[in-house]
Structure 1
Amino acid sequence: MLIRTLCCALALSVTSAQALQTGQLPERRLRELSATLADTAGNSHWQQLWKRSRDAGYFRTDGTQARFTLPMTSIPDRVRETLSQADSVTPEQPTLALYRRDFAPQVTGVEGAQNLTAICLRVDWRSVPDEPQPEQLFGASLLLTYPCR
């Protein structure tokens, strides 16, 4: 048990030392990685995303916070499209990236009385090495999705 714990700790320290630094990559490369992730993300990636986004209130039916107004059945496809074909990518912190896709004229959500037409998706690439192979993208985390401007 102790050996397994030490091995896991070592693997985590090596991974974090080689974490994908989003601010050091061209937007083109961040788009390529997200398109591959859209095709390879497993059910657990998506389940965690839905849980975090629901917990943050983005699926509520009322209130002034930003929230989706799309039919629940269409949100997964739109979010996957945001990940695979983002209009823009903004690096955040060392390993985060914000992917945004505008679906105008379709309204994706509201914030207060304002209609929103885009979807934002925050991805954490911390557990992905600098030059990942497609099978190494399992370490990426789909953190949060929400309707945005």
Structure 2
Amino acid sequence: MLIRNLPLLLILASGLSHAMNTENLPESTLKAYGQSLAVGAGSSQWQQLWQRTRAAGYFNQDGPQARFTLPMKLIPELVSTTLSDAHSVKPDKGTQALYRRDFAPRVIGAEGPDALTAICLNVDWRSLPEKTPTNDSGQMGSISLLLVQPCQ
């Protein structure tokens, strides 16, 4: 069984070795990739983001968990702004990065009684080949917009 699956395993392993490792990139490069993704992301990438975010409960109106309090029609533009003009970007889990933008004094959401003024967007860059030019928005169609949430 292992021998029969060996070619597939080798292909997968070689693909992973060429995945972009966010931990080796400066914040300025991750921000530049975010700007390209904001321009090049397709509607299915955004739809998947909204589905995962809804499933995680961040659009629930009540409860102690972090949740958006803005009308849904305002959130997409703020999330796109977070991606294109993040105040900070932190590498996460090898191929992911957390984009954060604070919109204070505007309140974005709440967690229990606390007002949240920032948006945090988790992006997985695993499918972007290493050394892709940061302005290559054509390569952005396979990037995963994982989850967005209001944060501090």
- The alpha carbon displacement at 1:36 in A equals 0.3
Whether contact under 8 Å (1:128, 1:140) holds in the other structure is: yes
Is 1:65 aligned to 2:65, yes or no?
yes
Alignment of 1:105-124 (within 5 A): 105-124=105-124
TM-score scaled by length of structure 2: 0.89
Residue 137 of structure 1, CA deviation = 2.1
Taking the aligned partners of 1:81 and 1:114, their CA distance within structure 2 comes to 23
Q: Is the 8 A contact 1:15 1:128 kept in 2?
A: no
Q: Give 1:9 deviation, angstroms.
A: 6.7
- The CA deviation at 1:8 is 7.8
Aligned to 2:25: 25
Structure 1 residues not aligned, in runs of 5+: 1-5
SS in 2 for 1:98: strand
Shift of 1:15: 2.7
For 1:78, the aligned partner's letter is: L
Q: CA RMSD in A?
A: 1.8
> How many angstroms apart in 1 are the aligned matches of 2:7 and 2:72?
42
Q: Which residue of 2 aligns with 1:137?
A: 140
What is the distance in 2 between the residues matched to 1:51 and 1:60? 13
Shift of 1:131: 1.3
Residue equivalent to 2:3: none
Cα displacement (A) at 1:81: 0.3
User: Which runs of structure 1 show a deviation greater than 4 angstroms over 4 or more consecutive aligned residues?
Assistant: 6-12
- Is the contact between residue 66 and residue 147 of structure 1 (CA under 8 Å) also seen in structure 2? yes
**Which one is further off, 133-142 or 23-32?**
133-142
**Counterparts of 1:81-92 in structure 2 under 5 Å?**
81-92=81-92
Secondary structure of 2:72's aligned partner: coil
Rate the CA distance shift 1:7–1:128 in 2: closer, same or farther, 3 A: farther
Distance 1:37 1:100, change over 3 A: same
